[in-house]
Amino acid sequence: MSRLRAVSLPAAAVVLVGGVLAVQVAYGGGTFEPLPPADPCVVRPVTSHSEGMDALTEQLVLIALDDAACTLGVSREALTLELAGPGDPTDAQVEALHDGLLAAVERMDADGTLPPTSDLVDEALDNADLNDLLKTLIRALPASVVDAALPIDDLLTRAIDDLDLRTVLTNLDSQDDLNRQLDAAITQAVKDTLVARVRDLV
């Protein structure tokens, strides 16, 4: 009996697999075609697994790449490959990415996903070149004062306008390098702008 069961189980498995394959083929699964890249001009949700400023810059970069790709008439994947490839970025690419970052700020501001400026102060001050007393005074500022004096959309716009994107996009080795460099550059620009402006409130 056990011998019969040992023979029948593999046979049953073959029948089941064959049945699944037959259904797949019947519904067009016999031909494999890669999915076309997503249309960068269609708004798609953007999320991040990071926190704080890293999460903010990740989302800005992803939205900006979509916006820039839409402007240039290519997919986000194609634009990323071009930017990460050999050679310097073109004027059109740099301008499209800059405008895309500004558009990302507007979109996140409109849909309420931008954090208040006060949420970023501690992180910006952690490695800032300021004496401890000044850092303590800045951290003591009420969140309402910081947010009223330094709207997050204005802060991000200033940081993006001050960013040298051409330098950031030069000499990249890979797509991962592109994302890393953009994230790091924008994060640092935001920190520098935030620290420079918030110290004026003290």
Mean of the pLDDT values across residues 176-185?
Answer: 86
Contact 138, 123 (CB under 8 A): no
| Position 76 in a domain | yes
- The range of the structural domain enclosing residue 131 comes to 52-201
| Position 165 in a domain | yes
Q: Judge if 24 and 102 occupy the same domain.
A: no
Q: Which residue has the higher pLDDT, 178 or 67?
A: 67
**pLDDT tens column, 12-36:** 444 444 444 444 444 444 454 556 7
Model pTM above 0.85:
no
| Position 176 in a domain | yes
Average pLDDT, the chain: 83
According to the model, what pLDDT value does residue 179 have? 82
Candidate from 61-75, 123-137, 167-181 with smallest mean pLDDT: 167-181
**From CA 150, how far away is CA 152, in angstroms rounded?**
6
Burial code (b: 16+ CB inside 10 Å, e: under 16) for 65-85 equals: bbbbbbbbebbbeebbebbbe
Other CB atoms within a 10 A radius of the CB of residue 197 amount to 17
Q: Judge if 100 and 152 occupy the same domain.
A: yes
According to the model, what pLDDT value does residue 147 have? 94
Q: Judge if 110 and 154 occupy the same domain.
A: yes
